Structure 1
Amino acid sequence: MSELESICHKCNEVIAERIITALGKSWHPDHFACKDCQLPITEATFNIQSGEPVCSDCFVKNYSGTCFGCKQPILERTINAMEKSWHEECFQCNGPCKKPLVGTSFYEREGHPYCRADFEQLFAARCAGCEQPITDNAIVALSAKWHRSCFKCKNCSAPITASSFAVEGNKPLCSACSG
């Protein structure tokens, strides 16, 4: 055997004619085969598992995850979030905006991701005064939640800061208007 002869990684025989070089090894063309199905790999691209070649069909069937968003195999970069796998482009807000969420903070509700704005608009408690989402501290009074700035006298609109107040029509009254 001369120094220029190549030995097939699979059969350990000299490769006399056409040669395939992949994974730092030499192969007879018929011996460069998928480690799972044993069929020769004839595609220009292939996958690697445990240092051995795997055909695209076996890779999809045996190794790739399925995207929670589109239910298709993931063959490229995988986003792991909420104990699920996603394509990068499928990991997006489940609310109306559909913004990409890769690399950002997000909120989870019933197994779906949401950006902050959509999460607050869809799921935050609503103020009894202005009916907008409450995203900060709230005042709980009269069996409802209120923005601090919305909890004001129904007559004069003065902020109610005292712990005691009067009630008229399920709305607060300051001590000056209730007297």
Structure 2
Amino acid sequence: MSTNDGPAICNSCNAVISGRIVKALDKKWHPEHFTCNTCHKPIDGAKFHQHDGGVHCVPCFAQHHSPRCHGCGEPITDRVIQALGVSWHAHHFVCGGCRKELGGGGFMEQAGRPYCSSCYADKFAARCHGCAKPIVDKAIIALDAKWHRDCFTCNKCFNPVTDSTFSVLDNKPLCGKCA
């Protein structure tokens, strides 16, 4: 038992299709009638996009419906990075300091720009009063300054000051033993 659906009818013009048939969206079309809703040219090849009830060729979809990269303004047709409330090409989502790609990993934000943790610490973190390097974890706040725990040392014996009370000589800490 063979099933013959009869002649192929074009979804666009309702005429019989003789010759090449385009099958898409569970319908049949004359090749010249399966067209992009944006540029109205026939969609050549098997790739197209559906959007808002219409079909679009790949270039028109990219130009008019793909998200735009915040870095370059061009359409994003591959992997999209969503960060800081906007879309990015992966290769444009880079550290504002070293320009290294941030990918999907962690980053810090300053004034709307992403930074890797190293550049963020170098540019924006508080500086230790003892060594002048960035403080990226817990800090000791004493003598109107911030210190790394290991940098807050006695000015005489150079051991870390760990007691909650200490003495001060020339605006520098002294441990209880040396005071």
TM norm structure 1: 0.83
For residues 27 and 21 of structure 2, the distance between their equivalents in structure 1, rounded to whole angstroms, comes to 10
Residues 154, 171 of structure 1: 8 Å contact kept? yes
Match of residue 174 from structure 2: 173
For residues 101 and 19 of structure 2, the distance between their equivalents in structure 1, rounded to whole angstroms, comes to 54
Secondary structure of 2:159's counterpart equals coil
For residues 6 and 169 of structure 1, the distance between their equivalents in structure 2, rounded to whole angstroms, comes to 96
Residues 92, 101 of structure 2: 8 Å contact kept? no
Instruction: Decide whether aligned partners of structure 1 residues 177 and 163 sit closer, same or farther in structure 2, where only a CA change above 3 A counts.
Output: same
- Per-residue CA deviations over 1:82-136 (Å, capped at 9, x if unaligned) read 211012232233331604322x222222212222223222221111001111122
Match of residue 75 from structure 1: 77
For residues 74 and 169 of structure 2, the distance between their equivalents in structure 1, rounded to whole angstroms, comes to 58
Residues 101, 115 of structure 1: 8 Å contact kept? no
Cα distance, 1:175 vs structure 2: 4.0
Residues 23, 51 of structure 1: 8 Å contact kept? no
Residues 108, 116 of structure 2: 8 Å contact kept? yes
For residues 86 and 172 of structure 1, the distance between their equivalents in structure 2, rounded to whole angstroms, comes to 49
Match of residue 161 from structure 1: 162
For residues 18 and 162 of structure 1, the distance between their equivalents in structure 2, rounded to whole angstroms, comes to 87
- Per-residue CA deviations over 1:123-159 (Å, capped at 9, x if unaligned) read 2111100111112211111111001111111222122
Q: How does 1:5-20 map to 2 (within 5 A)?
A: 5-20=7-22
What is the Cα-based RMSD across aligned positions, in Å?
2.3
How many pairs align?
176
Q: Which runs of 5+ in 1 are unaligned?
A: none
Moved more, 144-153 or 53-62: 53-62
